[in-house]
Amino acid sequence: MTDAPISETTKTSTRPSGFQRFWQSDFMWSFRHAPVAIVSFAVVLVLVLAAVLAPLIAPFDPFNPASLNLMNGFTPPGEANAFTGDSFVLGTDDQGRDVFSTILYGMRISLFVGFAAVFLAMLLGVTLGLLAGYLGGWTETIIMRIADVQLTFPAILVAMLIFGIAKGITPPEYRDQMAIWVLILAIGLSDWVQFARVVRGTTLVEKNKEYVQAARLIGRSPFAIMLRHILPNVLNPVLVIATISLALAIIAEATLSFLGVGAPPTKPSLGTLIRIGQEFMFSGEWWILFFPAITLLALALSINLLGDWLRDALNPRLR
Amino acid sequence: MLAYIIRRVAQSVLVLLVVGLVAFAMFRFVGDPIDNMLGQERTMEDIERLRENLGLDQPFIVQYYKFLGNAVQGNFGLSYRQGRPVADILMERLPATLELAFVSGLLALLGGIALGIFTAIRRRGVSANMIMTVSLIGVSLPTFLIGILLIYVFSVELGWLPSFGRGQVVDLGGWTTGFLTKSGIQALVLPAITLGLYQMTLIMRLVRTEMLEVLRMDYIRFARARGIKERAINFRHALKNTLVPVITITGLQLGSIIAFAIITETVFQWPGVGLLFINAVQFVDIPVMAAYLMMISVMFVGINLIVDMLYFAIDPRLRVDRGSGGGH
Amino acid sequence: MKTKTVLAAVLLATTAMTGASAETLRWARAGDSLTLDPHAQNEGPTHTLAHQIYEPLIIRDHSGAFQAALATDWAPKEGDPNVWVFNLRQGVTYHDGSDFNSEDVVFSITRAKSENSAMKELLTSITEVRAVDDHTVEFVTDGPNPILPANLTNLFMMDKTWTEANNASAVQDIAGGETTFASTNTNGTGAFTMVSREPDVKTVLTANEAYWGKDEFPLDVTEIVYTPIQNAATRVAALLSGEVDFIQDVPVQDLGRVGDTAGLVVKTAPQNRVIFFGMNMGDEDIGNDNVEGKNPLADVRVRQAMSKAINRDAIKKVVMREQSQPAGMIAPPFVNGWNEAMDASSSTDVEAAKALMADAGYADGFSIQLDCPNDRYVNDEAICQAAVGMLAQIGVTVNLDAKPKAQHFPLIQNDETDFYMLGWGVPTYDSEYIFNFLVHTRGEERGSWNGTGYSNTDLDAKIVSLSSETDLEARNATINEIWQVVQDEQLYIPIHHQVLNWGMTEKVVTEVSPEDDPKIKFFEMN
């Protein structure tokens, strides 16, 4: 729709010095006095770093099929494999992949999908919400009806549908990477409505305030008004929604893997690992499920707790 | 008022048309139904004949038009998989999903409100914070895993509750219910918890936030200053004002409970419409997929419409935002 | 649960006196029957349910051997090799009480040969079926057909009067999305009658009191409750928690757990099904690889190298947990034409494979997409995944695309895949069935599942000759010649023969049938 103002939006959002001052004062004070927030933040930081640095940390490259030895399959954590004698910290999965390395690489995919999907949702939601709220009229009706259509399709359905189409139209050599982009698109598309609704709501309130009216009177362009005056007011709720959405997106990716539309098993995400691992729950190979599941739990829980704290911290009325 | 309603209904119909078109278009890419319907030994002739019979050789828009025309009359055609009218199959399966959605919705509402109040009143208490944290675990694991873990603990290890199906059901003239038998109620427990957990967390947090906001309002402060008992304040004044948005959000969530039932039903082999949909996807049973999606859409759009109108009726100035608090 | 001893004793006494105890078998598997019309689908789970209710002239028992069912004996007619004579069982009645006679056989075979029938390909050689008297029927074929009885083991007999009275003479037109009386109702001669059925949810059958075979079969089960459970973990949980008595598809990783659980038993037997990879060797250039202007799979050395790269023993040990038998040819050992030497011929030799690749000019390898089902065969996706790693050893970079069978099989049918997994079962127990579908040039009549693009006119002629060759020895020699070419050309990369794993409670006693079609009348209950 409108590409130029979007990129401007994101740039300006970090610039205002008022926000920085806020960051340094109240916000940080609140952070320093919330042990849960500190711990959560530390966990997220460690996990994100581990994922980013996976190629340096991981002892094996689980995405390189030539390096795998099937006979290493099902090696328990810390024990030596009966056939090959190799041993692995967290054991190996059904294909002989080192579980520790696979989790690191899988987390990379999960986090990438999560961040990219939330970014997409935010971009779409904030833009459309601003437009709907500020311009009103038909623009608003169309955007909010599209939002209704969107709500009609749960993320699961959207992903299954997009997957079907994408398989039909992507050339075979790109199909391997396709899954990840489809996930991003599907999760991003089903998540933008929340952003749009909040932004539209705030915009409706702000646009009738005197300072906006004044800006309009002196002939400021609508885009300038939206970016400079209205956008800063919606940043707090948007940040909260984005955080919660990130956790949701990571879980949604896992759910989609269960339904067979997630990341491929040759390049698994955390969700794919859990889907594979649950098949071995009754048979005693607990580590194939347990370690990826605990990692996912730690990641999503920390992000959720952080979002929780953020919601309270950014809402001055609740303090 | 009337003009608004008419406009809003017209918009909803348009939304449904678009949903139908999108759904129908996309399902055409999911796979080829021909292959499932004919066995391994078939000829090109069979394939051509089948294509013709199903109308798959016609232009896409013609297929969609026919589909819509029939759908309006409640005729979604015949399931490729079962060879029976899709409408009949949906009606058979719907009670299972609705009962599951009802029980898990109730569970979410009651549990969510109770815990929400508790955590709001004891905002700084240890137990309230524990509940807030633990409740997040429920939304930090994928639903399918929670379901399988519940099966493992309560069916396999403890042997307390059944792992699949609806148990013994009673047929009440076209509506099969599991509420009337012991096995039917037992079978409901695990799936309802699995499905309701997410919504419960959501409602709990919503109630807590709303309560906290209300408790800071001036009139509550006055009430407190006047020496009204804390208990009375909490329940008579604060809770009452909290419930309106909570019930709205819950209403909106009902649709998504039914949609999310897809996963729960798959894990517990619960014979509802969600499982029907997943089967349809696997068998590329386009009429069932399309009908399911239309049904879900009507439900969502209907709920949306009702909520909008209620808002309009209560406060015409406020016919705006209502989803700011919720997830999706 | 403890029942009072006295009460139990009384109950025991009562059942002992009546001689038959009321035993319910709660039975689950992943999928459900597609229709109740016995001629409308040629598919495993559909036939399995039909076998409880309807009967063919001849059945296979759980060892795969012929057993007389509605026919008591059968033989080629003396002096006319084109005619088979079947003597029918007397005193057999349908569930509605009417008698079974030769008229019904003529009617049923004619029905199964009709346009909508999915069974007609098995009956192409039959030109006429005639009733000689009430309990004798003659099948006339277009040439001598020594293997005709093998084609009749899933061909169920319906009552002419009942079918006609209910307007179900035409086979349900699945293609036309039709429902008929016979697709939702049943009237067979079998050991069980239908009580209720909700497709994909639950089917209840009860013992047929008037069954002719009461003294021939154990018939310990008096009621069957059949529930499909799709999710493997849930299915196993249902067996472990005692909610079902019998499941047909225990995942290989859960065999230990089920076997170790007190009161549960796992029974294992080779299945009549072989799993293999197919390769598009027919096209000049293929779309799903990174080699331009050439088709690496057209070179037999590449195909041999790929076969040598596959470590079938590792797949057996790790992926299949010993529940498979490595294969060297794409015929299960049950099949006429199977040959021990050929089946043992595949070997793993990565060095030799690399040399072959270099010879063929692909020392640096190439990349290609492998299409794989993920809900059809035992651990199908995991096998493909293992193959990805093994092929990487010789420089073949494989992109794996796994998907539900409904989306996988059309790729093979429509020539849209260059490298794919397929499994093949052989209900006729004869190689001709394999050649017709997988080796013959793809065309109108034959070769519908030959996705390799392979075409050899000499071989095609030999395959066609099999259907009318009366000299069994000459026929077997031809079969062997065809197999030799298939092997030399490395037409397919065989992986293994599947093994069936049935899980059941201790009270259920049965052998595993190689077709994976339990006939509950053979079950004994402790």
The alpha carbon of B248 is separated from its chain's Cα centroid by a whole number of angstroms, namely 15
Q: Whole-prediction pTM value?
A: 0.82
Compare A228 and C24 and report the one with higher pLDDT. Answer: C24
Determine the distance in angstroms separating the CA of B298 from the nearest CA of chain C, rounded to an integer: 26
- At residue C460 the predicted structure's pLDDT band, cuts being 50, 70 and 90, is very high
**A216 and A134 in contact (C-beta within 8 Å)?**
no
What pLDDT shows up at residue B294? Answer: 81
* Best to test chain C binding among A70, A279, A288 (most C CBs inside 10 Å): A70
Cα A241 from Cα A129, distance rounded (Å):
14
pLDDT-wise least confident of B130-139, C172-181, C392-401:
C172-181
Cα C193 from Cα A113, distance rounded (Å):
53
- CA angle (C320 as vertex; C318, C323 as ends), nearest 5: 125
Judging by beta carbons within 10 Å of its beta carbon (0-12, 13-18, 19+), is residue C315 exposed, middle or buried? buried
Which token pair is A274? 């859990």
Amino acid occupying residue C227? T
Contacts of C410 in chain B (CB under 8 A): 31-32, 34-35
Cα B315 from Cα A65, distance rounded (Å):
63
Contacts of B143 in chain A (CB under 8 A): 255
Among A224-228, A249-253, C192-196, the range with the most confident prediction by mean pLDDT is C192-196
Compare A27 and B98 and report the one with higher pLDDT. Answer: B98
What pLDDT shows up at residue B32? Answer: 54
Instruction: Tally Cβ neighbours within 10 Å of residue A286.
Output: 15
Which of B53, B151, B283 is facing C175, going by the closest CB pair? B53
Determine the distance in angstroms separating the CA of B8 from the nearest CA of chain A, rounded to an integer: 10
What pLDDT shows up at residue C17? Answer: 39
**Residues with Cβ < 8 Å from B250, sequence gap 6 or more?**
B105, B108, B109, B199, B203
Residue matched to tokens 């919504």: B199
Which of A194, A255, A282 is facing B323, going by the closest CB pair? A194
pLDDT in tens, C27-69: 999 888 878 999 988 778 889 999 999 999 999 988 888 999 9
Which of C254, C386, C388 is facing A283, going by the closest CB pair? C254
Interchain CB distance below 8 Å, B80 and C177: yes
For residue C232, the chain B residue with the least C-alpha distance is B267
What pLDDT shows up at residue C292? Answer: 76
Residue matched to tokens 């079938």: C312
CB-based contact, A83 to chain C, within 8 Å: yes
Would you put residue A271 in left (φ > 0), alpha (ψ -120 to 50) or beta?
alpha
Q: Touching C: which chains, 3+ CB pairs < 8 A?
A: A, B
Contacts of C230 in chain B (CB under 8 A): 266, 269, 275, 278-279
* Best to test chain C binding among B35, B54, B89, B93 (most C CBs inside 10 Å): B35
Q: Touching A: which chains, 3+ CB pairs < 8 A?
A: B, C
Return the percentage of chain C with pLDDT > 90, whole number.
Answer: 55
Contacts of C416 in chain A (CB under 8 A): none
Buried b (16+ CB within 10 A) or exposed e, A32-51: eebeebeebbebbeebeebb
Interchain CB distance below 8 Å, C243 and B156: no
Q: Cα dihedral angle (B184, B186, B189, B192), rounded to 10 degrees? A: -10
CB-based contact, A259 to chain C, within 8 Å: no
* Best to test chain A binding among C241, C247, C253 (most A CBs inside 10 Å): C253
Cα A288 from Cα C200, distance rounded (Å):
31
Average pLDDT value for residue range A156-180: 69
pLDDT in tens, C294-347: 899 999 999 999 999 999 999 999 999 999 999 999 999 989 999 999 999 888
Cα A277 from Cα C123, distance rounded (Å):
46
- At residue C2 the predicted structure's pLDDT band, cuts being 50, 70 and 90, is very low
Residue C291: closest CA among C368, C392, C237: C368
Cα B122 from Cα B132, distance rounded (Å):
11
Which of C290, C382, C391 is facing A94, going by the closest CB pair? C382
Q: What share of chain A is helix, strand, coil (3-state, %, to 5)?
A: 75, 0, 20
Compare A214 and C222 and report the one with higher pLDDT. Answer: C222
Contacts of B278 in chain C (CB under 8 A): 230
DSSP labels, A66-99: GG--GGGTTPPTTSBPTTT--B-TT-B-TTS-BH
Q: Touching B: which chains, 3+ CB pairs < 8 A?
A: A, C
For residue B321, the chain A residue with the least C-alpha distance is A201
For residue C233, the chain B residue with the least C-alpha distance is B148
Q: Does A2 score more than 60 pLDDT?
A: no
What is the residue-level pLDDT of chain B in tens, covering all 328 positions?
677 778 778 877 887 887 777 767 655 555 455 555 554 445 666 666 666 666 666 677 777 777 777 777 777 777 777 767 888 888 888 899 989 988 998 898 889 888 988 888 887 788 888 888 788 888 888 888 999 899 989 988 888 898 888 887 788 877 888 888 888 888 899 999 999 888 888 888 888 888 887 777 777 777 777 777 777 777 766 777 777 777 767 766 776 777 778 889 988 989 999 888 888 877 777 778 878 888 887 887 787 777 777 766 655 544 444 433 333 3
Determine the distance in angstroms separating the CA of C215 from the nearest CA of chain B, rounded to an integer: 34
Average pLDDT value for residue range C442-468: 86
DSSP labels, A226-293: IIIIIHHHHHHHHHHHHHHHHHHHHHHHHHHHHTT-SS-TTS--HHHHHHHHHTTTTTT-THHHHHHH
Phi, psi of A5 (to 5 degrees): -65, -25
For residue A283, the chain B residue with the least C-alpha distance is B152
Residue C151: closest CA among C133, C139, C135: C139
Which token pair is A296? 């996912």
Paired with C128 in beta bridges are C140
Contacts of C448 in chain B (CB under 8 A): 40-43
Q: Does C197 score more than 80 pLDDT?
A: yes
